[in-house]
Chain A
Amino acid sequence: MCVVCHLFTNLKWFSQNLDIVDMTSSNHLDIKYQWDPSRDGDSAILTPTASVRIKRDLLEIFKDPPPGIYVVGDESDIRYVHAIIVGVMDTPYEGGFFYFLLKCPADYPILPPKVKFMTTDAGRVRFNPNLYKNGKVCLSILGTWTGPAWSPAQQISTVLLSIQSLMNEKPYYNEPGYDRERTPGDAKRYNEYLRHETLRVAVCGMLENECHLSIPPQLVEMMESTFLQFFDLYTETCRDNLRSDGEFYIDPFGGNTGCNFEYTKILERLETIRSNLQKKQNIPVSLPFTDGEGSDEKDV
């Protein structure tokens, strides 16, 4: 039964006894942050079964990690889980680090966790039709979208895998009503925009932590080692796209207008991040498969 019908049956049944909430009134504000784990104001204490279950969900991910998904429980509050999804190869998100904050409700898993997407360049980039700039994740199992609801037999990895599947090769088509391009080439232009923003925000921005996110150290370490592993891929993408530098980007969903592609600048940032990491990790400058120090020259 769809949400509307479901509500309708409920309404019919109870309207005699209850004042129906006015959807247009000041209620808006309370409802507005219901999805948001950092602002929902919910401080209820977990039931004992809920906290055991959260640990088991995490254990399950540690035991059998889904590719590209990394999670860490919060050190001081077990309700919170930090997760990074690494963008899948051959998608515009490839190699990017997408950070999510999850919060389990007191009666988890009766209700789903709440999720906030944190890699948004401080609210400026909408990385997917379902990942809003304000961090909201639109997903039916989270109750923030229509479709199949959460079930208590699901787990934290179910949520992260669903998000990962949104971040696919052609995310343009995720948007309802956009099963065909509004303007020919939109899907491709959206991918170009996302590819650039992935490198700018989800790679450089995340490694530099320019938005001052509180990312747990284990995840930072993972990003650093993955960064070094993917370094050549990042630089290759930049070089392949250098010719678009200076052009305006086009976000078919109307975000971030008036900005330019800046692959040259991204290349510089990538190099700086790498050399800082190498200093920090005290890795000898010569890496395998590179001729001595001049790894910059390798791809030229």
Chain B
Amino acid sequence: MTMVVGARGLADQKARQGAARRPYRPNLALLRALVGVVFVAIWTFVAYFYGSNFIPSPAETFRSAMRMMSDATIPTALASTVYVFVVGYLLAAAFAIPLGLFMGGFRIFGAAIEPYVDALSAMPRVSFIPLIIIFLGLGYEAKICVVFLGAIMPILLNTYTGVLNSDADLIEMAHASGASEMQIFQKVMLPGALPYIIAGMRVGAGLALINTVVAELYTAVQGLGGLLSVYGNTFRMGPYFVVVILLAIIGLITMRSLKALERRLTRGYARTRI
């Protein structure tokens, strides 16, 4: 018998023993594919039931997608939407994370602006759109601004909460070891807030995507949101479904990448991951 070195080795061995004892371990990838197949089957049945004027069949949707690919409708719209989404979202994170850290680091400042942040976070961001149009027009700047405002609050509030919830025992330990206030912030409070920040970024990503579509509907009609409005109003359900599926795929890719990032950054946090 080989010696298992290290706690991780032991944990692995335990996990393997646990798996061996169980009579059947489901294959997750297979299960997920199965769910997809069931979904497509239901879709086909409903499409057949209601007729393609209401619900296009998967095959019809696929044909629409091919057509929209070849005449560059999808690439153009997708590029525009992804651009607005990514720039607006990254700007939101770049603004919210430092501000949240600052609010948490300087408690009195954080407490002073907290009620305004709360008020803004509960407010429907759509109500800002007329104002944004007045100042920024109908182009990319206005759209990016809508996405920015939509995504900023969860990231800001989570970062702030993460810093406020930092471990007092660890801070005292660092303090006793001679750490400066800056070192405590950088080496104890910031890493402690990381799981909160990433959770906020996940929520923010969802809201950013929603607000991307909202912006494309309310400002210059453009991108996937614009196509949604055009096809929806003219009852061209095949292309309409293609756009809906594309939006779902963008959401899926974003959430999956953020989860992967979370796993990478919070490897040691097993107990504190939220």
Bind each other: no
* Contacts from A to B (Cβ < 8 Å): none
